[in-house]
Chain A
């Protein structure tokens, strides 16, 4: 089978069966888009986990003027208390990897920098965010040790474990992923059935040609390849559109609007789309080839 003849055959087939080809493109696009969203959500979760694990896992907030916690009694932390906390933290090495002190002034600066584009900044002044010891752990999962050691210690207003904050976020992400993957799974099933129907319809509309091909001794390969290539082209077009939509989602929605809320460094980017693109495209190629081969084997006698 010559390439030009094959191309001509495929072109005629796609044109004759255009509505089916378009539906394969669209269904593939939607299913891969959802699947891609699920994968991106997981990558987002991983990115955030990695970001936070590299930084602070536990914050020991100290009492400041007007702290409402009963432990503080409305009094700011004393220098003695600070020194005790510091030395206790140092003693907990090697679990405690690093400790640094963030003053009220620094906390305010950091907050202002992080949320500089939001109206939140105007409502906050120095002293609203207490000073704290920021603790980095060698094993972030063992934060409980630090939390229990400093909870209710003198001069400590509260101990905040980042993991707890993140956990809620990860739960949401996991649900989003689950939902996206379930819907994507259904859509992939639709895509598979649609590909099979498309092949059957294409085979039916070309049964005269097929009959003659068999008669003159065309190989199975020659008879079936045009159908497989047709479905493959439609599926790959759908994959390309889906990847384009994922890129647009990340570029325009994620990176433009969510930077204000979540840290820039912890956010997925277009690179993550390119990273999952080969898997999406490869998956759809495998799906199209397997589906069309099985369908042809079942419905096309050679």
Chain B
């Protein structure tokens, strides 16, 4: 489903590559934890999958498309096959829960008839029946992340990417969210989740891909967050300074969409 072939990615102002000669194959229907310390390249992997960035060398294949050869106008079509969830939920604060989920379908031009059936259905799947009329700020963090997941999967994508989806949640809620992701995975969706949460990784015992300094250092079928024989690495910091996706504390995540002055 997702294949990295000798992928190297250097950001324009980066001193060293964010990813270096990474090869990786994720089969359809797999559930993969992507772990590693800050700046190890987890977010870069996700950004490459949705073609947010081009690779510097090597190729990324998603659902049979070589993203390096994909013309820009076909990138939206690729993204329709991929759902994405973030640490900071990214809900629209002025829309209700149902409207937030419906938005993903409306902007794709789906007919209202379809939206009216799909939205409640998806809200039921994520455990938010009857909360469609709530506003995001009336919900708990866990519920907001469920809305975000509903929005990501309402168009029935083949792949679900999750970038630290439990980063802002308490341990119990985090487990619930990952259980939900596992349920979605069980229905056939490939799930790739970048995380710092060792409890969750150890609890679920799924495939673990560990990155360090832009290289794959471990790829275990039913791994733990920390391999048994390896020395304990330094505890992961709260925030990932290289995380280009989200920075809820410093400014607005969406700022990168619109270029600044000049």
Contact = CB atoms under 8 A, between A and B. Distances in A.
Partners in one complex: yes
Contacts of B90: 208, 211-212, 215
B107 A300 contact: no
Interface stretch (A27-35, A95-103, A199-207, A257-265): A199-207
A218 B90 CA distance: 16
A217 B112 CA distance: 18
Contact of A211 (B73, B78, B151, B254): B254
Contacts of B82: 217
Interface string A274-302: 00000000000000000000000011111
Contacts of B73: 219-220
Interface residues of B, number: 32
Contact of B92 (A209, A216, A301): A209
Given A222-B109, A301-B259, A214 B254 contact: no
B76 A217 contact: yes
Contacts of A204: 258
Interface residues of A, number: 27
A302 to B, nearest CB: 8
B255 interface: yes
A213 interface: yes
A169 B167 CA distance: 79
B77 interface: yes
Nearest to B103: A212
Given A207-B258, A218-B107, A299-B259, A212 B92 contact: yes
B258 A212 contact: no
Contact of B112 (A1, A2, A222, A299): A2
A178 interface: no
A211 B151 CA distance: 13
B76 A208 contact: no
A298 B259 CA distance: 8
A223 B257 CA distance: 12
Interface string A230-244: 000000000000000
A210 interface: yes
Contact of A212 (B104, B112, B155): B104
B170 interface: no
Interface in A1-41: 1-2, 5
B17 to A, nearest CB: 22
Interface string B85-128: 00000101000000000011011110110000000000000000
Contacts of A220: 73, 76
Q: Which of A200, A217, A301 gathers most chain B CB within 10 Å?
A: A217
B131 interface: no
* Ranked 8 nearest A-B pairs via Cβ: A217-B79, A217-B80, A207-B254, A218-B107, A216-B104, A217-B76, A211-B254, A207-B257
17 contacts: A2-B111, A5-B107, A207-B252, A207-B255, A209-B92, A210-B257, A212-B92, A212-B103, A215-B84, A216-B80, A218-B76, A218-B108, A220-B76, A222-B107, A223-B107, A298-B259, A302-B76
